[in-house]
Structures are given as C-alpha cells and as structure tokens.
Amino acid sequence: MIAQNSQKCFQLAKNHKTVKIPHPKIYILKLFIGKKMKRYTGLIENYRSRLPVSETTRIISLGEGNTPLIELHNIPRMIGKDIKIYVKFEGLNPTGSFKDRGMTLAVTKAVEAGSQAIICASTGNTSAAAAAYAVRAGIQAFVLIPEGKIALGKLAQTLMYGAKIIQINGNFDRGMALVKEVADLAPVTIVNSINPFRIEGQKTAAFEIVDELGFAPDFHCLPVGNAGNITAYWKGYDEYATDRVCGNRPAMCGYQAAGAAPFVEGAMIDNPETIATAIRIGHPQSWDLAWNAQKQSGGWFDKCSDEKILAAQKMLSQFEGVFCEPASAASLAGALNDIHTGKIPDGSTIVCTLTGNGIKDPEIAMMQCADSKPVTIEASLDAVKKAILDNF
Ligand SMILES: Cc1ncc(COP(=O)(O)O)c(C=O)c1O
C-alpha cells in the first residue's frame, strides 16, 4: 500500500518494510516503462556517441540543451496561413543563449587539452557563456567586447561570472581579429565559433528538433551574425539525414539585420549597424561554411529592417508569451516576410531559432514598452479594484 508520511514523502509497504518512493504517478509509470527515468545532465551526455569525447573526458556542463520547441498558436492564426511555426527557444539555456551548446564542448575540449585559459571576442552572449563555463571548469576567461555595444544583461552576467573583460573602442570584427592574433602569442584557447568544437556542440539543436518532431522541418530560419549557428544546424541535420535518423533536410534560411547583412550584399562590410547588437557583425568568420549550408540545403539569406525585428520581438512576447532578445526575432521577422510573399508556401512546417533570452536586453524591452508604463495607485482595496475594472 502507498501512504504519505508526515514529511509529505510517499512510502510503499513492501515485505514488512516501508520504502521511500517518488510521487505514485511517477512510480507507477516507471514500473510500466520498466526502466529508471534518467536525470538530464546536458547535451554532451545526451549525444555522446555523436560528439568527440571519450570515456575519460571530464565533461564541463551546466545542463545545457533540451530547450523547448514551442508551437506558435496565435501568430499563424493572425496571419491567416496554414503553416506550422515552431520556435526553438534557446534563451532557456543556462546562460540564456544558444552559445552554451557550443561552449560546453569547447571548454570540455580545452580542459582536456590542458588549457588554463580561454579567450573570445563577443557581442555579449559568447562572453557570458565563456565566462560561466570557465568558472565551472576552474580556468580563466578573457573576453573582448565592443565598448558600449553590448546589452546590459550580458555585461552583468559576464561580470558576475568573474571573467576578465577587455573593452575595445572597435566593433566585434576588430575584436575577433585581435583575438586571433593574440592567441598566437599567449597561452589561451579561442572559444569563438572558429573553434570547431563550438559547431559540434551547437549541431545538437538540430538533433533535438528531429528527435522531437520525428522529421526535419521544411524550412529552418535563424538569425545570422558570425554564421556559426547556421553552419552548426546544417551539420546536425545533414548528419542525421545521412544516418537515416530522418528522411529529409530543411532549407536553411538565414536572416541578417539590414545594416549588417554581408551575406545579402555578397561581400564583407566594414561598419555594420543594427539595434540587434548580437548580430552587429560585418565580417562573418564562417563565411564559406554558411554559403555551403545555404547552397546545399536550397535555402537563402535575406535581411530585415530593425523595425521589423523589433516588431517580431514584440509579437512573440505579446501574442505568444515568448520573450527573446532582438537579434533572435530576426528569424521570425524574416520567416513572416517569406510567408507573406509565398516563398515559404502554405502547408509548410518551419522552425525559427530564438537564439537568446529577452531579459538580456532590458533597455530595448523598456524602449519597446515606452507607451505601457505601470500605473501607480494608492495602496487600498478600492483603488486596486478600480484599476482592474478600468482596464478590463
Ligand atoms: C542572440 C544571438 N543571435 C544570433 C547570433 C548569431 O549567431 P552566429 O554568430 O552563429 O551567426 C548571435 C551571435 O552572437 C547571438 O548572440
């Protein structure tokens, strides 16, 4: 018989003994499934056989990956199209962005190789992830960031994790060039996406999508900056399709901010500008690999204005309850445009990657909501009641 003790724990009377068990529903489910439900311990453990680690590798993990694939309900209805739109909400990784997927492996491999320090150039999210995984591993992180051009939340995170932050009066591209040069002169491992282990870790997002849906989407839409992520997703889908885990591969659709769109212009640009600071990049490091992903998959690159990016960010928050950072919303902004023109046809299934959490950029969020300030009232029941009734 199952009973609950005074500490609200469940107990089972068995052979004249009482044993502690989980909630009865879980206990019965386990009996039926016949095996223990495994605690999720991060993407390296989950996809070990597809990643370059051995039995003896010390895994540096914060439980990253396994992020929700959320089907949008309201936006497709509003646009009146018969299209299934899912968002892969990478903002729910431990440091709030997709960078954690690559960083767990990059730092794991750096430690395995005996490195005592890592370095990266960053528009904010890489610095936060590098800093967190370095702390976890017990090594030093150095991060180069463009002064005044990273979102407040990302700076706060990186400071809290205790990285050595080096601000430069230049943009991400200049920082990246400096990082590449200094890595030849100082004992540091680069953990930007030119580190192949970053791509290997990030490809697991494609595995998760296929594992969940049972197939690859028709179109995979994502924001493009340095172009590591589009490269990684394509690698993941391609690997699964080659091994016949799925029967199809998606068309990869990469969207850039209009003022920072080298793939759309067909050439590097020197002074990228956009409100979406995470993708304010003019010299993408994975240039050839991303072109390859686009061509092999039959996808395309396009650009979105800052206005469209901000509008998509607000739509996701206000109609779906999903709060991503501005750069992330470029995936939906681009997809909506291509749905509107018919380039993405009715009947399609698409996945948009939402690369980072909206909480990282509180300044943009406050600007987006400048017209909806909180009301201030007297602390009385009447005043609260009136505030409710006035706002129904
Ligand atoms: C939130 C966010 N979205 C998109 C990107 C672009 O990813 P990638 O540089 O891999 O193209 C970045 C890169 O920093 C990012 O931080």
**Who wins on pLDDT, 265 or 20?**
265
Q: What is the length of the chain?
A: 392
Task: Inform me whether the pLDDT recorded for 180 exceeds 70.
Answer: yes
Residue 12: per-residue pLDDT: 55
Pocket test for ligand 1, best of 120, 229, 291 (most atoms within 8 A of CB): 229
Q: What is the mean pLDDT of residues 279-283?
A: 98
Of the pLDDT bands very low, low, confident and very high (cuts 50, 70, 90), residue 391 is: confident
Tokens encoding 103:
């960083």
pLDDT at 361 over 60: yes
> Does 188 score more than 80 pLDDT?
yes
Please report the atom of ligand 1 found closest to the CA of residue 126: 14
Residue 226 CA to ligand 1 center (angstroms) comes to 7
Instruction: Compute the average pLDDT of residues 64-78.
Output: 98
Q: What is the pLDDT of residue 301?
A: 98
Ligand 1 centroid, distance to 15 Cα (angstroms): 58
| pLDDT of 1 | 52
Closest ligand 1 atom to residue 223 Cα is 4
| Cα–Cα distance for residue pair 145/118, rounded to 1 Å | 14
CA distances from 115 to 109, 188, 190, 315 (A): 9, 7, 10, 44
pLDDT over 60 at 282, yes or no: yes
Question: Token pair for residue 347?
Answer: 């009947």
* pLDDT at 392 (0 to 100): 85
Cα 241 to ligand 1 centroid, rounded to whole Å: 25
Q: If you take atom 13 of ligand 1, which residue's CA is the nearest one?
A: 278
Residue 15 has pLDDT above 80, yes or no: no
Residue 38's pLDDT is 87
Question: Is the beta carbon of 327 within 6 A of some atom in ligand 1?
Answer: yes
**CA-based angle 305:309:312, to the nearest 5?**
140
Q: What single DSSP character describes residue 54?
A: -
pTM of the model: 0.91
* Higher-scoring residue by pLDDT: 15, 135: 135
Identify the pLDDT of residue 33: 53
pLDDT in tens, 107-164: 999 999 999 999 999 999 999 999 999 999 999 999 999 999 999 999 999 999 999 9
Q: Mind listing the pLDDT tens digit for each residue in 245-277? A: 999 999 999 999 999 999 999 999 999 999 999
Q: In whole numbers, what is the pLDDT of the chain averaged over residues?
A: 93
Angle of helix 125-137 relative to helix 99-112, nearest 10 degrees, comes to 40
29-61: pLDDT as tens digits: 555 555 567 899 999 999 999 999 999 999 999
pLDDT at 27: 53
C-alpha of 349 from chain center: 20
- Report all structural domains of the chain as residue ranges with CATH numbers, in order of start: 2-33 (no CATH), 64-93+198-368 (3.40.50.1100), 99-195 (3.40.50.1100)
Identify the pLDDT of residue 184.
95
